[in-house]
Amino acid sequence: QSVLTQPPSASGTPGQRVTISCSGSSSNIGSNTVNWYQQLPGTAPKLLIYSNNQRPSGVPDRFSGSKSGTSASLAISGLQSEDEADYYCAAWDDSLNGRNYVFGTGTKVTVL
Amino acid sequence: EVQLVQSGAEVKKPGESLKISCKGSGYSFTSYWIGWVRQMPGKGLEWMGIIYPGDSDTRYSPSFQGQVTISADKSISTAYLQWSSLKASDTAMYYCARRIGGAPSLAWFDPWGQGTLVTVSS
pLDDT digits 0-9 by tens, B78-92: 999 999 999 999 999
Residue A2: predicted pLDDT: 73
Which residue, among B5, B47, B59, B108, would best test binding to A if mutated, counting the most A CBs under 10 Å from its CB? Answer: B108
pLDDT band at B27 (very low <50, low <70, confident <90, very high): very high
Contact B61, A100 (CB under 8 A): yes
Contact B105/A106, CB-based, under 8 Å? no
Q: Is the pLDDT of residue B26 over 90?
A: yes
Q: Is the pLDDT of residue B102 over 90?
A: no
Q: Is the pLDDT of residue A76 over 80?
A: yes
Which of these, B27, B73, B25, B75, lies nearest to B51 by C-alpha position?
A: B73
pLDDT band at A98 (very low <50, low <70, confident <90, very high): confident
Q: How many CA atoms lie within 13 A of A17 on its CB side?
A: 9
Q: Is the pLDDT of residue B16 over 70?
A: yes
The predicted-structure confidence for B33-69, as pLDDT tens digits, reads as follows 999 999 999 999 999 999 999 999 999 999 999 999 9
Residue B105: predicted pLDDT: 84
Q: Average per-residue pLDDT in chain B?
A: 97
Which of these, B63, B77, B75, lies nearest to B3 by C-alpha position?
A: B77
Q: What is the largest CA-CA distance in chain B?
A: 45
Residue A3: predicted pLDDT: 86
Residue B84: predicted pLDDT: 98
Residue A97: predicted pLDDT: 77
Which of these, A34, A57, A46, lies nearest to A82 by C-alpha position?
A: A46
Is residue B6 exposed (0-12), middle (13-18) or buried (19+ Cβ within 10 Å)?
buried
Averaged pLDDT, A91-110: 93
The CA distance from B53 to B117, in Å, is 23
The predicted-structure confidence for A3-18, as pLDDT tens digits, reads as follows 899 999 999 999 999 9
Residues of B in contact with A47 (CB under 8 A): 108-112
Q: Average per-residue pLDDT in chain A?
A: 96
Q: How many CA atoms lie within 13 A of A15 on its CB side?
A: 0
Residue A60: predicted pLDDT: 97
Residues of B in contact with A98 (CB under 8 A): 59, 62
Residue B74: predicted pLDDT: 96
Residue A1: predicted pLDDT: 62
Contact A3, A24 (CB under 8 A): yes
Residues of B in contact with A94 (CB under 8 A): 105
DSSP bridge partners of B50: B35, B59
Residue B104: predicted pLDDT: 81
Which of these, B24, B3, B8, B25, lies nearest to B79 by C-alpha position?
A: B24
Q: Is the pLDDT of residue B7 over 70?
A: yes
Residue B100: predicted pLDDT: 96
Residue A62: predicted pLDDT: 97
Q: Is the pLDDT of residue B110 over 80?
A: yes
Which of these, A111, A2, A89, A96, lies nearest to A37 by C-alpha position?
A: A89
